[in-house]
């Protein structure tokens, strides 16, 4: 659902004018925030913990800041595109570039480069709104639900981050951070996927989520989610990781 919101928002923004794009982005951020809150409230309600009746609403000030930041980033994409177009037109005026070359460059900016950057920003910020809301709600609910924790769940993308695949299934207390290997070395402590404090290399294009966890819950996958045959066929790193994990007993045959 969270990924659907991000993709749907990207399509709507591409079709909308600049004035409507900002409003659409803010609406989808609100939807993701609400979905993140419900992602915790609803499962706990099913097992008898009606935390939504006992807890205050999440601080919307955080969401407002996230909306403002995302809107500025989207605006920067438009400003940068205008600057690049102006540069190419200027090059043509002084004879440093042919009109045909300028047209090709402008078409590239308008046809792929700017929309792709905007789509990345939208997916990142909508995913961040969902993740932050669900993590904040988990921490709110922790005193009311003894044993409440959270589990890192990988995205299932074919070419996902190897370091996120490694920690798939990791369980921590609701208020504790996940320990995520950094591709450059060391460990990043992240409260959730898309943690605003995490370095950018842990966030961009990430599709992972953090799910509520209780020891006595019966779930389809207890630990790491098995790789699909398609994943193993198309990504050699996953095949190697799968075999290494099985050798030490972290994955079942």
- Looking at the fold, whether 177 and 253 belong to one and the same domain comes out as yes
pLDDT, tens digit, 9 for 90 and up, residues 35-55: 999 999 999 999 899 898 889
**Bridge partners, residue 212, by sequence:** 150
Same domain? For 203 and 112 the reply is no
Express each pLDDT in 60-96 by its tens digit.
888 888 888 777 777 766 666 666 656 655 565 566 6
% of the chain residues with pLDDT over 90: 46
pLDDT tens sequence across 182-193: 999 999 999 999
Boundary-marking domain end, from 124, 145, 166: 145
Query: CA 40, CA 116: separation in Å to the nearest integer?
Result: 32
Residue 244 token pair: 């290494």
What is the residue range of 101's domain? Answer: 1-145
Do 136 and 247 have their domain in common?
no
Q: Which residues contact 124 (CB under 8 A, 6 or more apart)?
A: 194, 203, 204, 205
* Cα dihedral 117/119/122/125 (nearest 10): -60
Mean residue pLDDT across the chain: 82
Average pLDDT over residues 201-224: 92
Q: Cα 132 to the chain's mean position, in Å?
A: 10
Burial category of 249 from C-beta neighbours within 10 Å (exposed 0-12, middle 13-18, buried 19 and up): exposed
Kindly state the tokens that stand for 239: 């095949």
Both 251 and 159 in one domain: the answer is yes
Domain boundary among 105, 126, 145: 145
Q: Radius of gyration of the chain from Cα atoms?
A: 21
| β-bridge partners, 151 | 171, 211
| 163 shares a domain with 120 | no
**Which element (helix H / strand E) includes 238?**
helix 236-247
């Amino acid at each position: 659902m969270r990924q659907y919101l991000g993709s749907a928002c990207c399509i709507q923004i591409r079709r909308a004018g600049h004035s409507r794009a900002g409003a659409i982005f803010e609406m989808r951020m609100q939807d993701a925030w609400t979905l993140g809150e419900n992602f915790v409230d609803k499962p706990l309600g099913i097992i008898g913990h009606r935390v939504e009746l006992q807890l205050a609403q999440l601080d919307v000030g955080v969401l407002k800041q996230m909306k403002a930041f995302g809107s500025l980033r989207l605006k920067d994409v438009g400003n940068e595109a205008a600057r690049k177009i102006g540069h190419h037109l200027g090059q043509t005026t002084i004879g440093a570039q042919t009109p045909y070359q300028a047209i090709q460059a402008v078409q590239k900016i308008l046809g792929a480069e700017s929309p792709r950057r905007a789509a990345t920003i939208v997916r990142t910020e909508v995913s961040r709104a969902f993740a932050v809301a669900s993590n904040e709600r988990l921490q709110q609910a922790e005193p009311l639900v003894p044993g409440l924790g959270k589990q890192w769940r990988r995205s299932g993308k074919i070419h996902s981050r190897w370091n996120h695949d490694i920690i798939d299934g990791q369980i921590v207390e609701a208020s504790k951070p996940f320990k995520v290997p950094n591709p450059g070395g060391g460990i990043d402590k992240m409260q959730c996927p898309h943690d605003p404090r995490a370095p950018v290399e842990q966030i961009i294009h990430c599709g992972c989520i953090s799910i509520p966890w209780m020891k006595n819950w019966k779930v389809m996958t207890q630990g790491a989610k098995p790789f699909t045959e398609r994943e193993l066929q198309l990504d050699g790193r996953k095949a190697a990781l799968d075999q290494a994990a099985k050798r030490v007993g972290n994955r079942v045959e």
